[in-house]
Amino acid sequence: MIEWKAGRVAANGISLEYHRTGGNRPPILLAHGATDRGLCWIRLAKALEKEYELIMVDARGHGKSDAPAAGYSSIDHAADLAGVIRALGLEKPAVIGHSMGAASAAQLAVAHPDLIACAILEDPPWREATGDELPSEREERMAEWGRNIRKQRSQTLQEVMAGRSHP
């Protein structure tokens, strides 16, 4: 295994934790799902590290990255990823995202197509666009999601699991 490096980067007004395999190889930026952190990609990184440089970022509110009170939309996450790409000087990385990370990668591709080579979306959280949800309702849903993530970060495993109980 190649020796990986950990670090922090200032991006989009917050500090994000990342791990990278290093080396002068084509970069792949990995964006995790809502209940994970960057190191969830370890098995993939180990499989690809000889051919690619893998960058595994803890999204805002996850792992060791900052958890601001607001800013948990896919637009915010995409801006964070754009900041990571710029701060680390990555040259047109491929971006692979799972679930929440897939939504972030898709938004990054829309907002900053010049920064990335491609976006690979695994299990993106798409919803049928019915037009029934007002922008203010979506924003409140995203804010509630962010509050739940911050709450779970302060709970024990037993408290988190107790909250998932069903009758």
Tell me: the pLDDT tens digits for 100-145? 999 999 999 999 999 999 999 998 877 655 567 777 887 787 778 7
Burial class (CB in 10 A: 0-12, 13-18, 19+), 38: buried
Higher-pLDDT residue of 67, 154: 67
Is the pLDDT reported for residue 50 higher than 60? yes
The Cα–Cα gap between 33 and 47 comes to: 20
Is position 93 within any domain?
yes
Residue 146: per-residue pLDDT: 76
Contacts of 104 (CB under 8 A, 6+ apart): 31, 59, 74, 77, 78, 80, 81, 97
Per DSSP, the three-state class of 93 is coil
107 located within any domain: yes
Question: Looking at the 3D structure of the chain, how many domains does it have?
Answer: 1
Q: What is the mean pLDDT of residues 11-40?
A: 96
The Cβ of residue 77 has, within 10 Å, a number of other Cβ atoms equal to: 25
Q: Is 122 within a domain?
A: yes
pLDDT at residue number 128:
56
Question: What tokens appear for 83 in the block?
Answer: 């900041």
Q: What pLDDT score was predicted for residue 109?
A: 96
CATH number at residue 68: 3.40.50.1820
What is the pLDDT at residue 22?
87
Q: Which of 57-66, 82-91, 117-126 has the lowest mean pLDDT?
A: 117-126
Residue 34 lies in a domain: yes
Domain, as residue range, for 18: 5-162
**Do the domain assignments include residue 139?**
yes
Q: CA–CA separation, 17 vs 10, rounded Å?
A: 9
Query: Is 67:153 a contact under the CB 8 Å cutoff?
Result: yes
pLDDT reported for residue 145: 75
68 belongs to a structural domain: yes
Q: What's residue 127's pLDDT? A: 62
User: pTM above the 0.75 mark?
Assistant: yes
Q: What is the DSSP letter of 63?
A: T
Q: Is residue 44 part of a domain?
A: yes
CB 9 within 8 A of CB 38: no
Which of residues 60 and 124 earns the better pLDDT score?
60
Q: Are 119 and 97 in contact (CB under 8 A)?
A: yes
Residue 22 lies in a domain: yes
CA distance 71 to 152: 17
